[in-house]
Structure 1
Amino acid sequence: MTAPRRADADDDGIATDAPSSRRTHICGVPVDALTMEESVNAACALIRTGQPHQHVAINAAKVIAARHDPHLRQVLESCAIANADGQSVVWASRLLGSRVPERVTGIDFMLRMWEVAAERGFRVYLLGSKPETVRRTADVARSQGVDIVGARNGFWTPEGEASVVAEVAAARPDLLFVGLPTPRKEEFLHRHLGELRAGLAVGVGGSFDVVAGVVSRAPLWMQKSGLEWLHRMAQEPRRLLGRYVLGNVEFVFLVAREAVTSRRPPTE
């Protein structure tokens, strides 16, 4: 696999600190202290290097998953950009003294990068979700001036994975958005990053469902108050009840324990 490279400025001369220099950790999981625009500038700089890079969005559920899965934690650490997707992660960073400036959700980052792609002529590939959903998402992106060079659903067998990777690579996208669940998308991208030949590969979970109108997004006030998870759970209670209720309790416990430990004076 080709090792990720860092960049200090994009083509327009916009200075961008390498995300690794802005990196902090929440309960052992990496999070970059970047705003949306800083993330976009860093993404453009990475794309222009001509080397493959992986982006990840960190929320409370992913922190918990990584705590139970050391390999997933290694995958997250290897990502070139790790944004705070959940408001709870932003709050936790401030409690722990890291102060991540703002929430940068996977879907908001994707939509902002679509704008940049339309402006700069970046080639975009969409991978994941159901066939009709990804098709409708591609139509929405094209209507916004995005050059969609490929769109494929997220259903394939282990035996067929190599052909999926080859299909994406043949399109040579600058941006690859992958709408698969955690940890499947993170591990797929990590496993094939060099072969996919995408400048920046971004895992976006269920974002295609929102863009295609299959599910609705929470009102802005719920997003800002950290209650978007409640809106999502109301739409898919059977699938998300355990993840959010139990996961949020565990996340609060982990953050509280880390806060206490970090304030405890060292023993001689």
Structure 2
Amino acid sequence: MNQSQTPLELVNFGSRAAFFQDVTDHLQQKRGFTVATLNLDHIVKMRQDPAFAAAYRQHSHVVADGNPIVWLSRLGGREVDLIPGSELIAPLVALAADLNVPIAMLGATEETLAITTEKLQERHPQLQVAAKIAPPYRFDPDGEAAADALRQIDQSGAGLCFLALGAPKQERLAARAAQLAPHCGFVSIGAGLDFIAGHQTRAPIWARKIAMEWLWRMLSNPRRLAWRYAQCFAILPSLLIAARRMKRTGRNS
């Protein structure tokens, strides 16, 4: 990835099958990797936070999280699969269990981590959980506490770590992890652990099928999310132009 790329071009795994095959290869070979799931909110944050944008461009794996990214990519002449971050946990945990790869979790609360561990091990009794780290209040991904957490994960022997810190913290930490825990794969999943623990509820399947998960979420918490989604809608015209330019110039491979 380079500085001249548009946000849509950051998606470097358009196929779900290719993504999981490559992650499998990395896990088997004990090679580290970092996974980010691109959505409109992340693009808004990239425009406001250069450090976040720089961290995103360092990720080895970027997939499309959100139908607008899928649709805009198709408009740009490129087919990509929808791969939401929250839907990565179950297949990756199953993969780690099958490959005998210990996992780690960083984020949420101690209670959430404990409940999530119990539920995951109920589904996969052979799953090894090597580290569970609930970060302190105002956790700084660039601070020494973050470095200590990454060293702990590295020393635990975990080959796969789920980061549940929310953007931009989790992506910035993942970029740093590539140096401090080079044999572990880091996957940013937002509220994914809270969904498993039952502390947050994801939109019902019918809302997801008609691409209205964003509306369900906004109506569930308008005070927090209305402005966020307004900002996402505001950047759509420029992304439409970028998509058309991608198709015209052939920058969609």
Please indicate, yes or no, whether the TM-score normalized by the shorter chain is above 0.5.
yes
Of 86, 101, 117 in structure 2, the residue corresponding to residue 122 of structure 1 is 101
2:237 and 2:221 map into 1 onto residues whose CA distance is: 25
Of 136, 154, 159 in structure 1, the residue corresponding to residue 135 of structure 2 is 154
Is the 2:56–2:171 contact (alpha carbons within 8 Å) kept by the matching residues of 1? yes
Counterpart mapping for 1:24-63 below 5 A = 27=7, 29-63=9-43
Counterpart AA for 2:93: W
1:237 and 1:183 map into 2 onto residues whose CA distance is: 21
1:169 and 1:54 map into 2 onto residues whose CA distance is: 14
Deviations 1:89-125 (A, max 9, x none): 001101111221x201111112111111121111100
TM-superposed deviation, 1:46: 1.7
Is the 1:168–1:196 contact (alpha carbons within 8 Å) kept by the matching residues of 2? yes
Deviations 1:175-230 (A, max 9, x none): 00000111111111212322124431101111111111111111223213221122
Residues 264 and 138 of structure 1: is their aligned pair in 2 closer, same or farther, counting only changes over 3 Å? Answer: closer
1:198 and 1:141 map into 2 onto residues whose CA distance is: 23
Of 119, 128, 136 in structure 1, the residue corresponding to residue 115 of structure 2 is 136
Residues 96 and 132 of structure 1: is their aligned pair in 2 closer, same or farther, counting only changes over 3 Å? Answer: same
Tell me which moved more, 36-45 or 201-210: 36-45
Kindly indicate whether residue 175 of structure 2 is the aligned counterpart of residue 194 of structure 1.
Answer: no
Tell me which moved more, 146-155 or 54-63: 146-155
**3-state SS of paired residue (1:46):** helix
Q: Which residue of the partner structure matches residue 224 of structure 1?
A: 209
Q: Which residue of the partner structure matches residue 6 of structure 1?
A: none
Q: How many residues align?
A: 240
TM-score normalised to structure 2 length: 0.85
Kindly indicate whether residue 219 of structure 2 is the aligned counterpart of residue 234 of structure 1.
Answer: yes
Residues 238 and 130 of structure 1: is their aligned pair in 2 closer, same or farther, counting only changes over 3 Å? Answer: farther
> Which structure 2 residue ranges, 5 or more long, are not aligned?
none
Counterpart AA for 1:251: I
**3-state SS of paired residue (1:32):** coil
TM-superposed deviation, 1:50: 2.6
Residues 82 and 124 of structure 1: is their aligned pair in 2 closer, same or farther, counting only changes over 3 Å? Answer: same
2:25 and 2:34 map into 1 onto residues whose CA distance is: 13
Counterpart AA for 1:220: I
Is the 2:174–2:186 contact (alpha carbons within 8 Å) kept by the matching residues of 1? yes
> Which structure 1 residue ranges, 5 or more long, are not aligned?
1-19
Residues 35 and 65 of structure 1: is their aligned pair in 2 closer, same or farther, counting only changes over 3 Å? Answer: same
1:110 and 1:180 map into 2 onto residues whose CA distance is: 15
Is the 2:72–2:243 contact (alpha carbons within 8 Å) kept by the matching residues of 1? no
TM-superposed deviation, 1:166: 2.4
2:159 and 2:244 map into 1 onto residues whose CA distance is: 43
Percent identity over the alignment is 22
Q: Which residue of the partner structure matches residue 10 of structure 1?
A: none
Residues 220 and 52 of structure 1: is their aligned pair in 2 closer, same or farther, counting only changes over 3 Å? Answer: same
Residues 210 and 79 of structure 1: is their aligned pair in 2 closer, same or farther, counting only changes over 3 Å? Answer: same
TM-score normalised to structure 1 length: 0.81
